[in-house]
Amino acid sequence: METITVALGARSYPIYIGSEIFDRAELYVPHFAQKKAALVTNETVAPLYLDRLSNALRAAGVDVVPIVLPDGERHKNWQTLNSIYDSLLRNRCERKTTIVALGGGVVGDLGGFAAASFLRGVPFIQVPTTLLAQVDSSVGGKTGINHPLGKNMIGAFYQPKAVIADISTLNSLPDRELSAGLAEVIKYGLIRDLPFFEWLEQHMEKLLAREPQALAYAVRRSCENKAEVVGADEREEGERALLNLGHTFGHAIETAGNYERWLHGEAVALGTVLAARLSVAVAQMHPSLVARIESLLRAAKLPVDPPALGAERYIKLMSNDKKVEQGKMRFVTLNDIGASSVGFVELSTLIRLFDQSDRTT
Amino acid sequence: METITVALGARSYPIYIGSEIFDRAELYVPHFAQKKAALVTNETVAPLYLDRLSNALRAAGVDVVPIVLPDGERHKNWQTLNSIYDSLLRNRCERKTTIVALGGGVVGDLGGFAAASFLRGVPFIQVPTTLLAQVDSSVGGKTGINHPLGKNMIGAFYQPKAVIADISTLNSLPDRELSAGLAEVIKYGLIRDLPFFEWLEQHMEKLLAREPQALAYAVRRSCENKAEVVGADEREEGERALLNLGHTFGHAIETAGNYERWLHGEAVALGTVLAARLSVAVAQMHPSLVARIESLLRAAKLPVDPPALGAERYIKLMSNDKKVEQGKMRFVTLNDIGASSVGFVELSTLIRLFDQSDRTT
């Protein structure tokens, strides 16, 4: 097992990365304020891991309240959040009760926002069981729910007390979700870590074959990158925005697909392709790198042909995104692989980009 | 105008106290990240003050989005909060848009929690227009909504950028609400400020007559006390709990009255009487002080006869309160006027207290 620290002063916390560690009670109990925990998970993850974790914690003397949610992004809403509050209150959870989120990004976002807002904040531990959650959403304290008018519109920055990333839980992950997680892994290479990008180019087959060593390294490098960025800019007032590479395009693609056509990571991959093309236009990225980036995404079994929605639809969908400031559109672009920046882009540039993209697809 | 600072490091903020200051745009604009503000208020306050503030801000070049909520504690719920999100999104409010809460405690709690959770947090300014909000709820960052299973169960600690307490807005306050606010004013004297308690004993008539000098002094001393407590213990892990004197009893009384029978401040006054009696039993407070405390509450036109709900009902209602830890009941008690502490109280002691109280009423 390895431990990475997210350095945030009094709110610093460890990320434990290893195999067969998610039911080790000694990783949890030192972070508890009282021996009571609500385990928030979903109906897909519960049959796989809930009993093992519950039994391990109960054996350590912890009073366990299981809360099983329906599975899926479309349940990341107020109704599901409220069902968590109901369970917490009915089971007399208190200010010192810890909420443990056992599952993927949706469970982490819901469990995290429940922890941020129940009794104005209770302790919280993330136990991500998908690659996407292990490398991205479980680290950094972004929590929240969707609103009918937009994704992640309601939420909080609320840091966990610990993250427990168990590589062995990835064995139960469908191939498609493993690939979706790799989109965020590749992102770290692109925005700030050329050696990692090169490592990914060399080890993609091993990752897809779920070789534990390779997965553990990919999760560790991803978490190290994320921990550094979040430690420097917790509330996304600067550098943290770089983590949104491909996400403004990606959210538009997700929304156009009604959150059913594409997994989040797939939409991010498609958005990354658009961001790469944009980078050639506005950030002097060498044109040959677009193919190199597409090639790695393709090797990860990710889609690389953005849907031809048309410039108007893309711009309308993106302008609902929270990254609009005073009517301008802000994007993360690449100067090179491993070097990124944030800047404002003219609508005319975007229109040309989408017109070209539509012709190529 | 006087300025008090709530010292919380990077999150420090000023409380401006004065007369006819709520529409001075220069108090707002320096705290804005962009010249756009959503003014959250209610249907009672809007006809009195919304136009004046909107016009003043618009004259300073600010894009104003008015959001008028229904009035009353029973609207402090998810539905009303969601209507704020809807208005913010429909009016394209962004991360840098400031939410201004113009009104009493309910508006401040709702507007504050909307600010804490919209886009994971946007800037926020409190403009309290009731005495209760000026001396208590607008300062210190407690925000939230009620849940069908309990009051203030959902929320966040989220500090404003500034508090603008305009004494002149108290002129529109019904007498009953002025008195309710005085319950929280008296609380500061009781828990930590004997000279202020004595000043209140001498100046209660002037406060009820709304003499501006007296009101300004009472608001200032209350805010100074609250700012000191919050600065030392933002998240209520220690000293801040003292501010809950009378509140555990008070919440039970409010709930029993279905949030209609008593105003919050009235319930706090009744809870303070019970807390004073409890203090004689468990904190060696001199018995004569109960009458002195009741006398000041009565002078403030506050109720002093707690409803005879019976020990069983009281205990059941209080155990729904968030101040339950590991099955014990935690109370603030007084050792003397101006000296308070927090401790655990046995159920048998509470039963005796309620039995006595029922006999005296």
Beta strands in A109-257 (DSSP E): 124-128, 142-147, 150-157, 162-166
For A185-202, write each residue's pLDDT tens digit.
Answer: 999 999 999 999 999 999
- Annotated catalytic residue A244: yes
Q: What is the DSSP letter of A262?
A: S
**Mean pLDDT score, B142-148:** 94
What per-residue confidence (pLDDT) applies to B324? Answer: 57
> Where does the pLDDT of residue B151 fall: very low under 50, low under 70, confident under 90, or very high at 90 and above?
confident
User: Two tokens at B276?
Assistant: 């004073």
Chain B residues lying within 8 Å of A95, measured CB to CB: 322, 325
- Annotated catalytic residue A251: yes
Distance from CA of B155 to the nearest CA of A (A): 5
Shortest CA distance from A119: residue in chain B: B153
> Where does the pLDDT of residue B149 fall: very low under 50, low under 70, confident under 90, or very high at 90 and above?
confident
State pTM to two decimals.
0.92
Which region among A43-57, A308-322, B46-60 has the lowest average model confidence (pLDDT)?
A308-322
CB count within 10 Å of CB A350 equals 21
Q: Does A155 touch chain B (CB under 8 A)?
A: yes
What per-residue confidence (pLDDT) applies to A326? Answer: 60
> Where does the pLDDT of residue A214 fall: very low under 50, low under 70, confident under 90, or very high at 90 and above?
very high
What per-residue confidence (pLDDT) applies to A357? Answer: 75
Does residue B91 contact residue B63 with C-beta atoms inside 8 Å?
Answer: no
* Residues of B known to be catalytic: 120, 142, 184, 226, 236, 240, 244, 247, 251, 264
CB count within 10 Å of CB B147 equals 19
| Reported ipTM | 0.91
Q: Which residue in the block uniquely carries the two structure tokens 């506050």?
A: B302
Are A120 and B156 inside 8 Å of each other by CB?
A: yes
Are A156 and B82 inside 8 Å of each other by CB?
A: no
Catalytic residue among A36, A161, A220, A226: A226
Q: What is the DSSP letter of A321?
A: S
Chain B residues lying within 8 Å of A324, measured CB to CB: 92, 94
For A226-283, write each residue's pLDDT tens digit.
Answer: 999 999 999 888 999 999 999 999 999 998 998 889 999 999 999 999 999 999 999 9
User: Two tokens at B11?
Assistant: 């999150």
Shortest CA distance from A109: residue in chain B: B120
What per-residue confidence (pLDDT) applies to B104? Answer: 96
What per-residue confidence (pLDDT) applies to A198? Answer: 98
Q: What is the CA radius of gyration of chain A?
A: 20
Q: What is the C-alpha separation between A43 and A343, in angstroms, rounded?
A: 41
> Mean pLDDT score of chain A, rounded to an integer?
94
Q: Does B33 touch chain A (CB under 8 A)?
A: no
Query: Distance between alpha carbon B270 and the CA centroid of its chain, in Å?
Result: 16
Residue A99 or B258, more confident = A99
- Tell me the count of A-B CB pairs closer than 8 A: 89
Shortest CA distance from A90: residue in chain B: B149
Percent of chain A past pLDDT 90, that is, above it, reads: 86
Q: Which of A70-74, A316-320, B264-268 has the highest mean pLDDT?
A: B264-268
Distance from CA of B121 to the nearest CA of A (A): 6
> Mean pLDDT score of chain B, rounded to an integer?
94
DSSP string for B108-151: HHHHHHHHHHBTT---EEEEE-SHHIIIIITSS-EEEEEETTEE
What per-residue confidence (pLDDT) applies to B361? Answer: 55
Chain B residues lying within 8 Å of A326, measured CB to CB: 34, 94
Query: Burial code of B76-100, b = ≥16 C-beta within 10 A, e = fewer?
Result: bebebbebbbebbbeeebbbebbbb
Q: Look at residue B102 and tell me whether its pLDDT is greater than 60.
A: yes
Helices (H) and strands (E) in chain B, counts: 13, 12
What per-residue confidence (pLDDT) applies to B319? Answer: 82
Beta-carbon contacts of A261 under 8 Å, excluding residues fewer than 6 positions away, are none
For B156-167, write each residue's pLDDT tens digit.
Answer: 999 999 999 999
Among candidates A85, A96, A144 on the partner chain, residue whose Cβ is nearest the Cβ of B325: A96
For B298-309, write each residue's pLDDT tens digit.
Answer: 999 999 999 999
Q: Is domain A2-172 classified as CATH 3.30.465.10?
A: no
What per-residue confidence (pLDDT) applies to A205? Answer: 98
Q: What is the C-alpha separation between B215 and B194, in angstroms, rounded?
A: 18
Q: Look at residue B115 and tell me whether its pLDDT is greater than 60.
A: yes
Distance from CA of B333 to the nearest CA of A (A): 21
For A147-164, write each residue's pLDDT tens digit.
Answer: 988 889 999 999 999 999
Shortest CA distance from B35: residue in chain A: A326
Are B86 and A324 inside 8 Å of each other by CB?
A: no
Q: Which amino acid is at A13?
A: Y
What per-residue confidence (pLDDT) applies to A67? Answer: 98
- Annotated catalytic residue A120: yes
Domain residue limits, chain B: 2-171, 175-360
Q: Look at residue A361 and tell me whether its pLDDT is greater than 60.
A: no
Are B156 and A117 inside 8 Å of each other by CB?
A: yes
Q: Does A259 touch chain B (CB under 8 A)?
A: no
What per-residue confidence (pLDDT) applies to A333? Answer: 97
Tell me which fold the domain B175-360 belongs to: Dehydroquinate synthase-like, alpha domain (1.20.1090)
Q: Look at residue B336 and tell me whether its pLDDT is greater than 60.
A: yes
Tell me which fold the domain B2-171 belongs to: Rossmann fold (3.40.50)
Q: Look at residue B325 and tell me whether its pLDDT is greater than 70.
A: no
Q: Look at residue B337 and tell me whether its pLDDT is greater than 70.
A: yes
What per-residue confidence (pLDDT) applies to A360? Answer: 62
For B135-144, write each residue's pLDDT tens digit.
Answer: 999 999 999 9
- Annotated catalytic residue A192: no
Beta-carbon contacts of A298 under 8 Å, excluding residues fewer than 6 positions away, are A304
> Where does the pLDDT of residue B259 fall: very low under 50, low under 70, confident under 90, or very high at 90 and above?
confident
Q: Look at residue B212 and tell me whether its pLDDT is greater than 60.
A: yes
**Mean pLDDT score, B69-88:** 95
Distance from CA of A155 to the nearest CA of B (A): 5
Among candidates A119, A157, A322 on the partner chain, residue whose Cβ is nearest the Cβ of B153: A119
Distance from CA of B115 to the nearest CA of A (A): 10
What per-residue confidence (pLDDT) applies to B150? Answer: 81
For B33-48, write each residue's pLDDT tens digit.
Answer: 999 999 999 999 999 9
Are A154 and B34 inside 8 Å of each other by CB?
A: no
For A29-67, write each residue's pLDDT tens digit.
Answer: 999 999 999 999 999 999 999 999 999 999 999 999 999
Does residue B264 contact residue B226 with C-beta atoms inside 8 Å?
Answer: no
DSSP string for B248-293: HHHHHHHHHTTTTSS-HHHHHHHHHHHHHHHHHHHS---THHHHHH
